Amino acid sequence: MDATVDVKDISQIDQVGKIEENDLEPIALKHRHGSPKDLFGMWIGANTNYVVMLNGVLMITLGLSFSQAIWAILIGNLLGCTMLGLSSIFGPRTGTAGIATSRAPFGHLGALIPTFISTISVLGWFSINSVVATRGLEELFHLVGLPQDMWVMWVCLGLVLFGEILLAIYGHATIIKAEQWIAVVLGIMFIGLFLFVLPNVNWSHATTVVEADGVTGWGTWLLAMGIIFSYPISWTNFASDYSRYFHPDVSWKKVAFYAGAGQCTALIVTEFIGICLGVALVSHVGEMPDDPVNILPKLLPTWFFAIFMIALVLGCVATNVPNGYTAGLSLLALRLPLKRVQGVLVIGAATLLFRIATLLYGDFFTLYEEWLIYIIIWTCPWVSILLVDYHLRDANYDARELTVWGKGEYWYGTGIFWPAMVSFIAGMAVSLLFTNSSLYASPFMLEYFGGADLSYFAGIGVSAGMYYLWARNNPMYKRAKELGKSVFPEASE
């Protein structure tokens, strides 16, 4: 049964243009609405942005040829966006945020560890994207004659935060509708950029990868593909936040397809434009700058450069709205005495502190960004455990027990289900053995794998395999299958 609800039946707690009334608690069946098709445009809007384009530029920076770069973004995104799609299927069956679903396999107390890591990660990305958007808005104001003064920066940051936080406060339905419209606007702007870059692209671009000790050409390609894979993977802890209002009988295949296909479309197209821009910068301008924005005026007329700055700002805001929404829910999942709107405001305040830190300590921004990229390594073990758990229970959850602290089905005596916790830690530990990053390069990868980074794939394989073998015979999975379907709070009313 592909269950959807017509717009006339949409509950008052989640409507476009009205502040969402629900917090973290499982969505009651009478409030379920929406269709998996809604996710397609939503994920396009959230993933068409300047940072994604830089991933494409990075493929050329690493020394890949044009064809090698294309294959890297195709394979990396197909794998990563498949994980994003599969991470969206928890929402309809639990009615709650993805990170709160951790309570089923990890236990309520154990789930606090991945929830805390997720909160720090999401808060950090929200802060970084806000700073990038602020810089873009400063550049736009500079084009119209405003000075590059500190007060302009604070005004820009205030405008960026206002837009991001406002949409995040309005919540689920408004975010999905706004992202769908933003997807159209950004799509037009980025295609316009491509048309201006196109005449400067050398389609036969090829280069020789500079091979350091232990780094081979194929190892560099695997490293590049892993970087592409890591971006969609970094969204998996967000995914179910935007599918939790669907009816639990909705087709999980459609949920996974529309979420994954929307993100994959945005990433492949935007990164392809980034590859073309990288080739144009190398072959036409003759250099690869740290920030392509500094060179874009050489390729673009001034009027379109201004339009692209609008796209840069809008894209960062569109990316950050889901960041802010999920970060607010994550604070609630940490059992902090907050409502969802209060959580979003806390995230905004943290971003102000982050901006002050980057002004006082310039290198802090770079170090913090690298650290955030590095801690994505937690995501693969986490999502693989949740997917195995989903399979073992036949997608049946007792959503009533997801909110019960200190007892019940998901307390496991001590608050921790150790097969999940140990598998999670083991997956992260093994990932280090397969890591090659700017912070740590495993001698094992340099010696035997040509300098590739396979940490994400190692984390998935080890955690999923260990958890399945250890937990599959636990009596809770027999009880879950006997439920026949997920059970929600109104069943006990």
Q: Give the single-character DSSP code of 337.
A: S
Instruction: Classify 335 in phi/psi space as left (phi over 0), alpha (psi -120 to 50) or beta.
Output: left
Q: What is the DSSP string of 88-140?
A: TTHHHHH-S-TGGGGHHHH-TTTTHHHHHHHHHHHHHHHHHHHHHHHHHHHHH
Cα dist from 182 to 195, 310, 443, 482, 486, whole Å: 20, 12, 44, 44, 34
Instruction: Kindly indicate the confidence band of residue 410, based on its pLDDT and cuts at 50, 70 and 90.
Output: very high
Share of the chain above pLDDT 70, in %: 89
> Does 274 score more than 60 pLDDT?
yes
Work out the angle between the directed axes of helices 302-333 and 172-197 (0-180°, nearest 10): 150
* Best CA proximity match to 194, nearest among 53, 324, 289: 53
Among positive and negative, which fits the CA dihedral 357, 358, 361, 366? positive
> Does 146 score more than 60 pLDDT?
yes
**Mean pLDDT over each residue of the chain, to the nearest integer:** 86
- Rounded to whole angstroms, how far apart are CA atoms 239 and 99? 9
Instruction: Classify 171 in phi/psi space as left (phi over 0), alpha (psi -120 to 50) or beta.
Output: left
Among positive and negative, which fits the CA dihedral 383, 384, 387, 389? negative
* Best CA proximity match to 187, nearest among 255, 106, 262: 262
Q: Where are the domains of the chain?
A: 7-380
pLDDT digits (tens, 9 = 90+) for 92-141: 999 999 999 999 999 999 999 999 988 888 888 888 888 888 888 888 88
The neighbouring-strand residues paired with 398 are: 487
Structure-block tokens of residue 284: 């036409």
Beta-strand ranges (E) seen in 363-457 are none
Share of the chain above pLDDT 90, in %: 44
CB of 490 closer than 8 Å to CB of 413:
no
Q: Angle 43-49-50 (CA atoms, 0-180°, nearest 5)?
A: 160
* Best CA proximity match to 11, nearest among 359, 258, 233, 247: 247
Name the phi and psi angles at 404, rounded to 5.
Answer: -95, 120
* Best CA proximity match to 84, nearest among 228, 233, 225, 265: 233
CB of 453 closer than 8 Å to CB of 223:
yes
* Best CA proximity match to 434, nearest among 448, 423, 424: 448
Task: For domain 7-380, say whether CATH 3.40.250.10 is its number.
Answer: no
Three-state secondary structure of 254-301: HHHHHHHHHHHHHHHHHHHHHHHHHHHHHHHHCCCCCCHHHCHHHCCC
Cα dist from 488 to 63, 400, 409, whole Å: 53, 6, 14
> What is the residue type of 427?
G
Q: What mean pLDDT is predicted for residues 13-31?
A: 87
Q: What mean pLDDT is predicted for residues 30-46?
A: 93
* Best CA proximity match to 240, nearest among 50, 110, 103: 103
For the chain, the C-alpha Rg in angstroms (whole number) is: 22
> What is the residue type of 204?
S
Work out the angle between the directed axes of helices 112-143 and 340-360 (0-180°, nearest 10): 60
Cα 429–chain centre separation: 22
Greatest alpha-carbon pair distance for the chain in Å reads 69
Q: What mean pLDDT is predicted for residues 51-55?
A: 88
Instruction: Kindly indicate the confidence band of residue 210, based on its pLDDT and cuts at 50, 70 and 90.
Output: low
> Does 3 score more than 50 pLDDT?
no
Classify 398 as helix, strand or coil: strand
pLDDT digits (tens, 9 = 90+) for 304-344: 988 888 888 999 889 889 988 888 888 899 998 888 889 88
Q: Give the single-character DSSP code of 9.
A: G
